[in-house]
Amino acid sequence: MIVEELNVKEIATGVLSPMADMQHEQLLFCNDTKTGLRAIIAVHNTVLGPALGGTRMWPYRSEQEALTDVLRLSRGMTYKAAVSGLNLGGGKAVIIGDARTQKTEALLRRFGQFVNDLGGKYITAEDVGMTSRDMEYIHMSTDHVSGLPETMGGSGNPSPVTAFGTYMGMKASVQHVYGTDSLQGKKVLVQGCGSVGQHLVEYLVKEGAEVFVTDIFEDKIAETTSKYKATAVDPNNFYGMDMDIYAPCALGATLNDDTIPQLKCRVVSGAANNQLKDENIHAAALRDKGIAYAPDFVINAGGLINVYSELLGNYNREIAMNKAEHIYDVTLQIHKYAAEKGITSLEAAKAIAEKRIEDMAALKTPFSRNY
């Protein structure tokens, strides 16, 4: 087809325009009929270093939904690494499918070959629907994997560090709102009793918070309430309940036009990625309601800090936990900056992240290609 024949509308609504809008560097679409693999790898920004971000396996209802998710998640990783002071860029991958029924060794190893094709520009790790055992299979096809099991010299499951960082960010947000960071007696709703949610519940219960939990799977709720002193609530009917802190630890977009008007809490602070359905509208809606929102990519950076520690070599869980404690200071700084400038906490976090990327890009000389 000659260029003149191309439909302009088609160009404007294709894959490249959302990439351009969100400033992505590269997308890799992966298809393998034999293993049933259908995946997308997104490299958002590599100014600070290689694009690191987990692989999510989820039964997306459409390819468009998967694409939107991977574009947003990878950009979030750029912000997360930058605001956390790590020398990493942002990337992410999604595999379309049900992790409970469609995940096989062959599919994971084929996916690893696609990761390898990117030559280290993208480093993968665990996300929703993946385990460190899965990372072992991917590692059979590529070295560009982090979050390997501890038995293989890796950092193992990052969720405990993510949960600890989230807990730190929650305390900093509580400090900002209440003038003390104690969670004693605070009513906290944890949505999602997965790897992160359950560890977070443990910290909250230990500190004397009154904890409520919910999940779409009853077995996950039962597992959590059998281990910790927490009350189960209906996953479809809790946003309007009496609570001080809402901690989204499931999937994204739970802060939206439906849910925000119902919220009675003063703090939103959880580990889930992309909690705001529309970043601009819903960050402002939370601020206007007087709710302190801890930006997700800031307070869920513990997992990234953990795998970054692994990449640096001589992994040590205690050092990773110490680094994740710093999330407290970063979160507090963001709330203060937002209040001073009269902007949302999300705008404040992005401004701090973007400034660092700009500053570091300016440092580069033609010979400083290695980070």
Residues forming contacts to ligand NAD in the complex (CB under 6 A) are 127-128, 158-159, 162, 191-197, 214-217, 220, 235, 249-251, 271-273, 300, 303
H or E element, residue 178: helix 159-178
Given the structure tokens 């992966």, which residue do they identify? 30
- Active site residue: 9, 34, 80, 92, which one? 92
In terms of CB distance, is 10 or 219 closer to ligand NAD?
A: 219
State the nearest-atom distance from the C-beta of 36 to ligand NAD, in Å. 21
| DSSP letters for 57-99 | EE--SSHHHHHHHHHHHHHHHHHHHHHTT-S-EEEEEEEES-T
CA distance linking residue 17 with residue 197, whole number of Å? 35
Angle at CA 149, nearest 5°, toward 112 and 98?
Answer: 50
Residue 12: both structure tokens together: 């404007």
CA distance linking residue 155 with residue 159, whole number of Å? 11
CA distance linking residue 22 with residue 11, whole number of Å? 16
CA distance linking residue 42 with residue 99, whole number of Å? 20
CA distance linking residue 42 with residue 216, whole number of Å? 28
The 10 Å Cβ neighbour count of residue 47 is 16
In Å, how far from its chain's centre is CA 124?
13
Chain residue whose CB lies nearest ligand NAD: 194
In terms of CB distance, is 40 or 340 closer to ligand NAD?
A: 40
Angle at CA 144, nearest 5°, toward 138 and 148?
Answer: 60
CA distance linking residue 82 with residue 44, whole number of Å? 12
Instruction: Provide the 3-class DSSP secondary structure of residue 5.
Output: helix
In terms of CB distance, is 50 or 54 closer to ligand NAD?
A: 54
State the nearest-atom distance from the C-beta of 201 to ligand NAD, in Å. 11
CA distance linking residue 227 with residue 141, whole number of Å? 38
State the nearest-atom distance from the C-beta of 100 to ligand NAD, in Å. 10
In terms of CB distance, is 142 or 166 closer to ligand NAD?
A: 166
In terms of CB distance, is 99 or 343 closer to ligand NAD?
A: 99
In terms of CB distance, is 8 or 310 closer to ligand NAD?
A: 310
- Our answer to whether residue 220 is catalytic in this structure is no
State the nearest-atom distance from the C-beta of 87 to ligand NAD, in Å. 19
State the nearest-atom distance from the C-beta of 284 to ligand NAD, in Å. 22
In the chain, the amino acid numbered 154 is: G
State the nearest-atom distance from the C-beta of 352 to ligand NAD, in Å. 19
Active centre residues (catalytic): 92
